[in-house]
Chains A and B, each alone.
Chain A
C-alpha cells in the first residue's frame, strides 16, 4: 500500500524547504510531509546558484580593486590569484551553507520524511518515487511541485562532443580558463563572466542581441553592457552560432557575423542561454496538471489544473526565476493549503538584481511595458555621476530610471544600475507596493552621501531641473 502524507513536496530546493517549514509551523509540526528529490539537498540556490556565484563575485572584486585601485596615489598591482584555493574555499562555503541552512534544519521537523529519488505522477493523488533502491508509491492529500529549473542547452552542432561548462558545473573548476567564450548573455553569464574576467580570464560574451534580456529596461541594460565593456569584457553581438569544435586543445566557436564566417578560439565555453523548467519525467498528464515549455501553468493562488496540486518556484511558468520568489511562493502555498487562504504574489512588486559591478536592480514595469498596458507612463533618467556618493566612489557608469503613472504620479517602475543597487532597490518595492508618488519619495529624508540618494534625486527630477540643484537640496 502507498504511504500517505498530508503534503507531498516534489523537490528539495528553496521553494520546497520554505513550503515544508511553513506548513510545519502552521500545523504545529503535525502535518505529515514527504519531500522527494535527488541531487544535493537545497537545490540550485545554495549548491550551484546564488551562493557560489555571489562568493566568486565578491572574491573577484577584491582582485579587481588591487588591479584597479581607482584612487590616484594608490599603486595598482597584479593580484596573485590561486584559483584552485579560491574554488576550494567556495566549495567549502557551499557545503557549510547547505549544512546549516538545509541539512541541519531538518532535525527540527520530525514530521518531514525525505525520499531520495525522482517523482512521477501515476494518478491525481499518487506519485511513484524511482530511486536506485527501487520504486515506491506515495499518496498525498496535497502536492507542491517545486522541481526548479536547469540550464537551457542550445542545439549547436558539435557542442556535446566539444564539451562545455554551465552554471551547474563551473564551480568544480580548479584551473582558471585562459580564454572563455560565453554563449548567451543572461544574468548568469554576465555575473560569472565578470567574476572570471576579474580573476584573470579573457572573457568574450557571444550573443545575438545588443541588449541583455527581454523585460529589462532597455537603456539600463545597454548601460550595463557599456560598464562591463569598460571593465574589459568583450561583447560580440549579432553573432549566429553555427557550430563548435575542438582544434588541438582549443575550442572553436564558429559564428556567422554580417554574412561572413568568424571563428572564435577559446579554452572553455560557458553556456548561459537561460533556464528551462524541470518537467521531464513528472508525467503531469496523469495528474491533470497543465504545462508548457515555459513551465507549469498556475492560478493566482499557485494551484494548478488539479486543485490539490500546487506549483512553486522556478518550475512555474512565470516571469522571474529567483530564490526569494521561490521561497515566498512555497510559504504562500503552505498557507493556502493549511489555512485555506488564497494568497498570490504581485510580480510587479518583486525586485530582482544582476550582481555585476555595477549592480543592476529593478522592480516594476519598464516604461515600454507600462505604456503598452496602460498607455500613460512618464519617466526620468538620472546619470549615476549626478549622485555625489558615486563621484566620491569614482564610479561614473550607471543610471537611475523611475517610471511613474502620468496622471497620478505613482511610481510603477524603478530601474537602477549603480553600486549597491541590490541593497537599496527595496525603496522602489515599498514605493510601488504602497502606491507612493515621486512626491512621497522626495518627502523622505535620505542619508547623504549614499548611492541610494539617487532614488530621491531621480524623483526630484520629475519636478525640477537637476542641473540647477546644489548638492543637498531637499
Chain B
C-alpha cells in the first residue's frame, strides 16, 4: 500500500524533472544555406523532427533550436532527412546545453 503511493509520487516527480531535463538547446552549424528559401526549408525540416527553431542565421550558418531530448536526440537531429545524403544541406553539432 505504502509502496504503491511511493511509486506514484516517484513517477510524478520523475516526470516533472525529466520534462525539465529533456529540453535541450542545440546549436548547430548548417552548411548549404544561401537564401531565405533555404532558411525556410531547413526550418521546416527541423520542425518536422519536433524541434522548435529559435534562430537560423544566413550570416554564419548557425541554427539554434530547442528539442525534447526524449523525442529526438541532438545527434539524430543533424542526421534528419533535411540534412540527408541527397539533401543540399548538411549539419554539424556545435553545442548542446
Contact = CB atoms under 8 A, between A and B. Distances in A.
Nearest to A339: B85
Interface range on chain B (Cβ under 8 Å from partner)? 10 to 19
Interface string A334-365: 00011111000000000000000000000000
Given A338-B90, A338-B92, A339-B90, A28 B79 contact: no
B32 A30 contact: yes
Interface in A115-138: none
Given A141-B94, A338-B92, A6 B29 contact: yes
B31 A26 contact: yes
Interface in A20-40: 26-28, 30-31
Interface string B37-63: 000000000000000000000000100
Which of B29, B83, B88 is most buried by chain A, counting CB atoms within 10 A of its CB? B29
A28 B78 contact: no
Q: How large is the interface on A (under 10, 10 to 19, 20 to 34, 35 or more residues)?
A: 10 to 19
A6 B90 CA distance: 12
A31 B31 contact: yes
Interface in A54-93: none
A28 B31 contact: yes
- Pick from A6, A26, A27, A142 the residue with the most CB of B within 10 Å: A27
Contacts of B34: 28
Interface string A449-472: 000000000000000000000000
A27 B31 contact: yes
Interface string B1-45: 000000000000000000000000000010110100000000000
A32 to B, nearest CB: 9
A30 B91 CA distance: 11
Interface in B70-97: 78-79, 83, 85, 88, 90, 92, 94
Contact of B31 (A30, A142, A340, A341): A30
A54 to B, nearest CB: 35
Nearest to B61: A30
A27 B32 contact: yes
Nearest to B31: A27
A26 B92 CA distance: 12
A28 B32 contact: yes
A201 B25 CA distance: 70
Nearest to B79: A340
Given A6-B92, A28-B88, A338 B31 contact: yes
A27 B29 CA distance: 11
Interface in A131-175: 141-142
Contacts of B32: 27-28, 30
A27 B83 CA distance: 11
Contacts of A26: 31, 90
Contacts of A142: 92
A394 B78 CA distance: 61
Contacts of A341: 85
B62 to A, nearest CB: 12
A97 B55 CA distance: 46
Given A27-B32, A31-B31, A340-B83, 10 more contacts: A6-B29, A6-B31, A6-B92, A26-B90, A30-B32, A337-B92, A338-B31, A338-B90, A339-B90, A341-B85
8 nearest CB pairs, A to B: A27-B31, A30-B31, A28-B32, A340-B79, A338-B90, A339-B85, A27-B90, A26-B90
